[in-house]
């Protein structure tokens, strides 16, 4: 493939008196109206992407092109045909064709007087070239001729011969960078040094008011010494000019290396567009593919317009972290977030080669959160919504269980209905939220756990974080909301459990001491003396006040451990389901595994993490004294550290995408250890 094969050229001037059903650019009648009223051939020239299997849109395009070719009845104009022999062309002998693209054709030629071999470029349409074609062709020659730099191919002559416009330039015989990208991927330092030279050449052109707008490996030639030379300024634009030769709404460039603003035909094309293309070339060297790649030209262009790019490290784990930061800064969707100039990009590349610090820094989580709220409000709202649903899914079953046990069931200790019957004169409220349907507890608990197990997949599929760092940020946002909602439900239930059950016995004893018969009263007082022997030494008038203060103090002292334990449990499960679930689903989504294999691998890890979360939560509750250690010499919290550690070890093979026999061997070993324990 030559270095002209990938260019999407701007359309020529529209024909006069176009038909309503004709292409606005070339006048060809169309079966259906397409984008901007242009036929596919004028809208898009073929990109480097080879279609694998035609989609319906691609089929329509192909049929339209075939009908255009067959129905026109006019042979397309062709440049000079050499045949098998060299052909004279003015002062030049055309030796062979060496490149052909959407706008021009390049020959190896020899100057008859000087004997120097040059590259001679002609307009592809030859004598039939329109005024717009000619002007664009001359602009390419003039742009290159105005630049005197070792890294930009020099122009020798501009002229016309027998109605054929041409210009000659230095013949670069080392091939293009596109031909050697695979070779450079194995020698990234050499490539970075080469790209820094290219960036310096582009910076030179920018400082002289010229944008390239089609930087790609095929337009970077290498001389015999391996030095890079930028060529093909056919889409170049003078920044000082009021307008260029590209029609309104026309898309120029190569989609695989094109920035979003260029893919959407924005008028605001600045030097940042060339910086983006330089970063796209670096991306290809790091990953083996350009940032935008699809099965058709249209799909590739749509990718470029969206500007969503997978970080290089997700395609190649061996990518240098600093180079990735440099690359992703060039590929920022917002032009203002890219390097201020190609020279600044080249400087960072040289600093990296020298082992020095570079200007770009990794985004902090604070800036990522801010980006979610300001620029990606939809993603933030989606994460928050899933977090709330996750909190309800886990908190509602717990709340339902405690509410039924304490208030709703017939044998409930604090049944409000019985109290109202016993004391009808007391204004005792009977709120509806104390009576959730008990028969729904089982289904609610099962559905809640199942929902939380797939919560990471749902967040990944709906919110679609762009990279692993954004997946972490989205997981944290969802986890925060899940913790708040779950803690609101679980905290109420835990307070009922601790305050009511732990202290209800003492309160009943005090009530017996005050209102029971003489015998029961004496037994209640004796029980208090046995429980608190120091009460015997106190005067009778101080005993009631001391007991009231003691019970109140115990309630207040019990409050912080309850709150901390509940909050810790909620954080543990929010981290498991939201954070780890989202990150694991995001990583699996960027693998080549079949969807069923991805789902299996996801559930394996999440079930083990869920088990580990249970052990961790029980450890926290036992450590805070909310669970009885029994008569064991080793505290319960320490006993559970072993199973917790085993769960973490068993998770690692699945998290690291190991093969099935490694993963399942770990699961079998864990199961055997649990059985023996």
Shared domain for 347 and 204, answered yes or no, is: yes
What is the number of other CB atoms lying within 10 angstroms of the CB of residue 130? 13
For residue 9, pLDDT beyond 50: no
| 474 found inside a domain | yes
Q: Which of the listed ranges 216-220, 233-237, 263-267 does the model predict with the highest average pLDDT?
A: 216-220
Q: Which of 372, 387, 418 is the last residue of a domain?
A: 372
- Domain assignment present for residue 66? The answer is no
Tell me the Ramachandran region of residue 288: left when phi exceeds 0, alpha when psi lies from -120 to 50, beta otherwise: left
- Of residues 243 and 647, more confidence is placed in 647
488 and 627, same domain (yes or no):
no
Residue after which a domain boundary falls, among 329, 353, 372: 372
Q: Are 339 and 231 contained in the same domain?
A: yes
pLDDT at position 45 over 60? no
- 123 or 325, which is more confident? 325
Residue 50 inside a domain? The answer is no
Average confidence (pLDDT) over 201-224: 89
We report the CATH number of the domain holding residue 114 as: 3.30.200.20
Q: Are both 497 and 450 inside the same structural domain? A: yes
pTM exceeding 0.85 = no
* Residue bearing the bigger pLDDT, 522 or 497: 522
- Shared domain check, 186 and 280: yes
Lowest mean pLDDT among 23-27, 435-439, 589-593, 634-638: 23-27
Q: Identify the pLDDT of residue 496.
A: 77
Structure tokens that stand for 527 in this block: 């029980």
Q: Is pLDDT above 90 for 658?
A: no
Distance CA 467, CA 319 (A): 15
Res 33 pLDDT > 50: no
* pLDDT over 90 (residue 528): no
**105 and 193 assigned to the same domain:** no
* Over residues 314-319, mean pLDDT: 86
Q: What is the pLDDT of residue 235?
A: 61
CA pair distance 212, 48, nearest whole angstrom: 19
Which of the two residues, 46 and 525, has the higher pLDDT score? 525
pLDDT in tens, 376-420: 666 778 888 888 999 898 888 888 888 887 787 777 777 777 777
Per-residue pLDDT band at 174 (split at 50, 70, 90): confident
Q: Please tell me the least confidently modeled range out of 253-262, 385-394, 579-588, 666-675.
A: 666-675
Lowest mean pLDDT among 393-402, 505-514, 605-614: 505-514
* H or E stretch at 552: helix 540-574
pLDDT at 71: 39
Whether residues 368 and 384 fall in one domain:
no
Q: What is the mean predicted confidence (pLDDT) over 318-328?
A: 91
In this prediction, residues 477-490 reach a mean pLDDT of 89
Mean model confidence pLDDT for the chain: 77
Q: What is the C-alpha end-to-end distance of the chain, expressed in Å?
A: 66
Cβ contacts of 72-75, under 8 Å, gap ≥ 24: 72/28
Domain count along the chain:
4
Same domain, 508 and 654: no
Q: Is 342 helix (H, G, I), strand (E, B) or coil?
A: helix
Mark whether 191 and 338 lie in a shared domain.
yes
Domain match, 546 and 638 both: no
| pLDDT over 60 at 29, yes or no | no
| Structural domain harbouring 360 | 177-372
The verdict on residue 77 lying in a domain is no
pLDDT band with cut points at 50, 70 and 90 for residue 450: very high
**Residue 58 covered by a domain:** no
Look at residue 629 in the predicted model and tell me its pLDDT. 55
pLDDT category at 294 given cuts 50, 70, 90 is confident
86-90, 198-202, 458-462, 529-533 — which one is most confidently predicted on average? 198-202
Mean pLDDT of 81-87: 63
User: Is the model's pLDDT at 151 over the cut of 70?
Assistant: yes
Is residue 501 located within the same domain as residue 639?
Answer: no
Minimal CA–CA distance to 634: which of 571, 570, 677?
677
Cβ(510)–Cβ(547) below 8 Å: yes
Domain harbouring 354, CATH code: 1.10.510.10
In a domain, 216, yes or no: yes
Residue 53 domain flag:
no
Residue tagged 């319960």 (tokens) = 636
**How far is the C-alpha of 107 from the C-alpha of 179, rounded, in Å?**
19
Distance of CA 472 to the CA centre of its chain: 10
Among 48-62, 193-207, 359-373, 490-504, the range with the most confident prediction by mean pLDDT is: 193-207
DSSP per-residue codes, 206-257:
HHTTEE-S---GGGEEE-TT--EEE---TT-EETTSS--SSPTT---B-GGG
H helices of 416-539, where? 416-422, 441-453, 455-463, 468-495, 502-515, 518-531
SS3 64: helix
pLDDT at 110: 93
Distances (CA, A) of 487 to 392, 433, 455, 477, 490: 10, 17, 18, 15, 5
Per-residue confidence at 92, pLDDT binned at 50, 70, 90? very high
Least-confidence region, from 282-286, 475-479, 502-506, 586-590:
502-506
User: In which band, very low, low, confident or very high, does the pLDDT at 617 lie, cut at 50, 70 and 90?
Assistant: confident
The DSSP-derived string for 448-484 is HHHHHHTHHHHHHHHH--SSHHHHHHHHHHHHHHHHH
Does residue 668 surpass a pLDDT of 90? no
Same domain, 603 and 623: yes
End position of a domain, from candidates 153, 170, 187: 170
Say yes or no to pLDDT of 497 above 60: yes
**503: which 2 tokens?**
């202290």
Highest mean pLDDT among 45-59, 134-148, 363-377, 468-482: 468-482
Tell me, yes or no, whether 131 lies in a domain: yes
């Amino acid at each position: 493939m030559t270095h002209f094969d990938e260019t999407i050229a701007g359309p020529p001037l529209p024909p006069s008196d176009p038909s309503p059903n004709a292409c606005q650019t070339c006048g060809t009648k169309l079966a259906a109206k397409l984008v901007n009223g242009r036929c596919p051939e004028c809208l898009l020239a073929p990109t480097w992407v080879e279609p694998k299997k035609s989609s319906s849109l691609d089929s329509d395009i192909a049929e339209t092109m075939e009908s255009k070719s067959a129905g026109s009845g006019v042979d397309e104009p062709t440049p000079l045909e050499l045949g098998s022999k060299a052909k004279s062309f003015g002062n030049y002998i055309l030796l062979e064709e060496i490149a052909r693209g959407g706008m021009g054709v390049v020959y190896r030629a020899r100057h008859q007087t000087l004997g120097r071999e040059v590259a001679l470029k002609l307009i592809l349409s030859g004598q039939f070239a329109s005024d717009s074609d000619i002007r664009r062709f001359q602009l390419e020659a003039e742009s290159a001729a105005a630049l005197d730099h070792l890294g930009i191919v020099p122009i020798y002559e501009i002229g016309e011969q027998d109605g054929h416009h041409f210009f000659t330039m230095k013949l670069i015989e080392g091939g293009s960078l596109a031909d050697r990208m695979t070779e450079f991927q194995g020698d990234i330092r050499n490539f970075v040094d080469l790209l820094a030279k290219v960036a310096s050449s582009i910076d030179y052109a920018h400082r002289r008011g010229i944008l390239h707008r089609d930087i790609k490996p095929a337009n970077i030639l290498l001389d015999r010494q391996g030095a890079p030379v930028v060529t093909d300024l056919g889409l170049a634009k003078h920044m000082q000019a009021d307008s260029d030769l590209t029609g309104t709404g026309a898309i120029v460039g190569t989609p695989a290396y094109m920035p979003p603003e260029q893919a959407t035909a924005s008028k605001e094309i600045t030097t940042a567009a060339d910086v983006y293309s330089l970063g796209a070339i670096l991306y290809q060297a790091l990953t083996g593919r350009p940032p935008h790649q699809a099965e058709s030209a249209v799909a590739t262009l749509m990718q470029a317009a969206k500007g969503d790019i997978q970080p290089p490290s997700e395609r190649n784990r061996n990518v240098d972290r600093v180079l990735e930061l440099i690359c992703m800064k060039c590929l920022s969707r917002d032009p203002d977030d890219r390097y201020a100039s190609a020279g600044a990009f080249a400087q960072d590349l040289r600093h990296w080669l020298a082992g020095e610090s570079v200007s770009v820094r990794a985004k902090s989580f604070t800036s990522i959160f801010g980006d979610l709220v300001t620029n990606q409000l939809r993603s933030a709202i989606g994460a928050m919504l899933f977090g709330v649903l996750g909190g309800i899914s886990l908190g509602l079953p717990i709340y339902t269980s405690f509410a039924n046990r304490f208030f709703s069931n017939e044998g409930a200790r604090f049944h409000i209905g019985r109290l109202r019957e016993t004391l009808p004169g007391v204004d005792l409220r009977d709120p509806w939220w104390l009576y959730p349907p008990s028969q729904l507890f089982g289904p609610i608990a099962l559905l809640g756990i199942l929902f939380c197990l797939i919560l990471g997949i749902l967040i990944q599929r709906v919110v679609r974080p762009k990279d692993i760092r954004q997946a972490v940020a989205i997981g944290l946002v969802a986890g925060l909301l899940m913790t708040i909602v779950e803690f609101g439900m679980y905290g109420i239930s835990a307070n009922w459990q601790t305050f009511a059950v732990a202290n209800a016995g003492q309160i009943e004893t005090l009530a017996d001491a005050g209102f029971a018969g003489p015998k029961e009263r004496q037994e209640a007082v004796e029980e208090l003396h046995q429980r608190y022997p120091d009460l015997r030494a106190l005067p009778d008038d101080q005993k009631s006040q001391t007991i009231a203060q003691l019970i109140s103090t115990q309630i207040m002292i019990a409050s912080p451990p309850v709150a901390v334990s509940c909050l810790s449990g909620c954080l543990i499960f929010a981290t498991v389901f939201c954070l780890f679930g989202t990150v694991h689903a995001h990583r699996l989504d960027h693998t080549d595994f079949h969807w069923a294999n991805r789902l299996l691998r996801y559930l394996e890890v999440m079930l083990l993490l869920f088990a580990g979360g249970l052990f961790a939560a029980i450890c926290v509750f036992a450590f805070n004294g909310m669970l009885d250690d029994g008569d064991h010499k080793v505290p319960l919290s320490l006993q559970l550290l072993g199973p917790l550690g085993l769960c973490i070890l068993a998770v690692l093979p699945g998290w690291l995408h190991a093969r099935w026999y490694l993963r399942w061997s770990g699961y079998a070993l864990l199961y055997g250890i649990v059985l023996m324990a």
